[in-house]
Structure 1
Amino acid sequence: MGVLDHFSDLCSVSSTRKSRRKPFQTVDIKVKMDCDGCERRVRSSVSSMKGVKSVEVVRKQSRVSVTGYVEPHKVLKKVRSTGKRAEFWPYIPYNLVTYPYAPQAYDKKAPSGYVKNVAQALPSPNTPMVKYTSLFSDDNPNACSIM
């Protein structure tokens, strides 16, 4: 069987080109848009890209959400080609952050309900967790005396 395996390896046709499909993802970009023309220009430039399934523009938040089989850096480059200053969406929802008023997290320019995504606002993995079940326990000598 060794000879047949050797011949089959020599005769097999394999593709050297490795094509991987891009993952389906949502890319959020912050773009300052003042008028309907700016919004239309950004929307049309991004929607013409290959792999884009939907484009959502929220002018009040200066946000563009692109969903599809796209690469984030290519979407950012395409938005910048319209002449607008653009960056990746730097904000996360307010309720996901432990310390929203950390010095670098709080931003006056952020849309309502959002803070900047910085490491100081997120909980560190070394902080001890307070267990509220043992806080008022009879076994805890430092428990509340009202119970």
Structure 2
Amino acid sequence: MKFLRALASLLVVAGLVSGSLIATTSNADAASKLRFTKLYADSPGTDRGSNKSLNAEYVVVKNTGSSKIKIAGYKIKDKAGHTFVFPKGFVLKARRSVTVHTGRGTNTGSHLYWKQRWYVWNNTTDTAYLLNTRGSRLDTCTFPRKHSKAYVTC
């Protein structure tokens, strides 16, 4: 009888361990579905630092997968080290995008605000890095030095 209880306990523990491994693997697979789609580095007009101008500078992240991804704590960084952290509880729905604006505003499921008071992205050249909570790079998008538009499609 003790042997059967011990065996049952062992099977429960094995099931919990294997279940957590499956969850980790699927979360990693889900994170691989995150991609930058656009970096608008040079907002229109003269750079005077108005909130409207700051919010015209942005980066777009898309979930290309078929399931939602919890990206709270994920980060977007630039070459200079400016860092945006996705807010607590933030989930990006399947096949949806979120636009991260440089300036201030009210966060929604499709628009987030960095709350900066000056520009993050360089008009001449810059790179956006998308990092998971462990700091592993998931994607990059570079605004090249010689570019005819104010944005780049990633």
Same fold (TM over 0.5): no
Could you tell me the TM-score, scaled by structure 2's length? Answer: 0.27
Bigger Rg, structure 1 or 2: 1
TM, length-normalised to structure 1: 0.28
Query: Higher relative CO (CA 8 A, sep ≥ 6), structure 1 or 2?
Result: 2
